[in-house]
């Protein structure tokens, strides 16, 4: 079982819909990241969270540390939001420096 | 500084050849990470540097793989005697540390034929 699980794996929605992507993890973490990857490989960091909620434009990310769960929401979705959204965590290693552990990503397609 | 730069963007090589990739991180970042991503999967951690010191290596990094970060600036990832299973996207990222966000490069896509 992956340490980071995302759902759904694939999501197709109509323009304007409210989108939710979920991430659950099974290890203690110091931070959780939401990343966006477009075709061709480039990865953009959207959010880094250790508690609560962050908002940037139409994107909202929340995290519940006790439940080991995070969600990424997109309001008023647009075709340009089509991408793979990846959840990644910094496993807490007591001051160590582990790299990120990634989920497999959610492939989002927003149709006009 | 325009971000993390990786070269080349694409590399096609014959099985058994050696390849080397380069990553130029954001100059102020002391940490540099290499990840590998195969089709349909999330990236997997390979190795990480703090300044010039290679502090951690994944068990995914076989003896054919070596990474360096001389002078704590750019980094190179070399794969010797490439195999078809090495075909993947190799991603580099840099940061100030785990309390800070990461900046990723666009990756080097390796195809071993």
What is the Cα–Cα distance from B92 to B34, expressed in whole angstroms? 5
Residues 10-69 of A with CB under 8 A from B: 30-31, 33, 35, 40-45, 48
Picking from B48, B58, B100, the nearest residue to A97 by CB comes out as: B48
User: Residue A41 has what DSSP assignment?
Assistant: S
| Residue in chain B lying closest to A41 (CA) | B106
Ranges A49-53, B68-72, B77-81, B95-99: which has the least confidence: B95-99
Residues of chain B found within 8 Å of residue A10, distances taken between Cβ atoms:
none
- Cβ–Cβ gap A33/B102 under 8 Å: yes
Contact B101 A4 (CB under 8 A): no
Confidence of residue A24 (pLDDT cuts 50, 70, 90): very high
Nearest to A104 among B42, B47, B55 (CB): B42
Q: Is the pLDDT of residue A62 over 70?
A: yes
Q: Which residues pair with A71 in a beta bridge?
A: A22, A62
Q: What is the pLDDT of residue B69?
A: 96
Question: Distance between CA A90 and CA A101 in Å, rounded?
Answer: 7
Residue B87, φ and ψ in degrees, nearest 5: -60, 120
**Of A31, A41, A103, which is closest to B98 when you measure between CB atoms?**
A31
Residue A94's pLDDT band, with cuts at 50, 70 and 90, is: very low
With contact defined as beta carbons under 8 Å apart, do A54 and A60 qualify?
yes
């Amino acid at each position: 079982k992956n340490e980071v699980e995302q759902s759904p794996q694939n999501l197709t929605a109509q323009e304007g819909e409210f989108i939710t992507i979920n991430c659950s993890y099974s290890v203690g973490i110091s931070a959780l990241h939401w990343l966006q990857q477009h075709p061709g490989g480039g990865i953009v960091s959207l959010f880094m969270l250790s508690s609560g909620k962050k908002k940037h434009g139409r994107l909202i990310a929340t995290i519940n540390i006790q439940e080991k769960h995070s969600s990424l929401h997109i309001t008023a979705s647009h075709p340009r939001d089509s991408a793979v959204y990846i959840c990644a965590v910094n496993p807490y290693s007591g001051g160590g420096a582990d790299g990120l552990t990634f989920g497999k990503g959610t492939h989002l397609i927003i149709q006009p | 500084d325009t971000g993390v730069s990786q070269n080349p963007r694409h590399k096609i090589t014959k099985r058994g050849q050696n390849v080397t990739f380069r990553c130029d991180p954001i100059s102020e970042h002391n940490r540099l990470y290499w990840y590998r991503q195969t089709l349909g999967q999330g990236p997997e951690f390979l190795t990480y540097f703090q300044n010039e010191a290679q502090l951690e290596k994944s068990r995914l990094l076989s003896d054919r793989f070596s990474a360096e970060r001389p002078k704590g600036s750019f980094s190179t990832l070399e794969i010797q005697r490439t195999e078809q299973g090495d075909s993947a996207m190799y991603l580099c990222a840099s940061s100030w540390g785990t309390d800070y966000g990461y900046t990723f490069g666009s990756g080097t896509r390796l195809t071993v034929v």
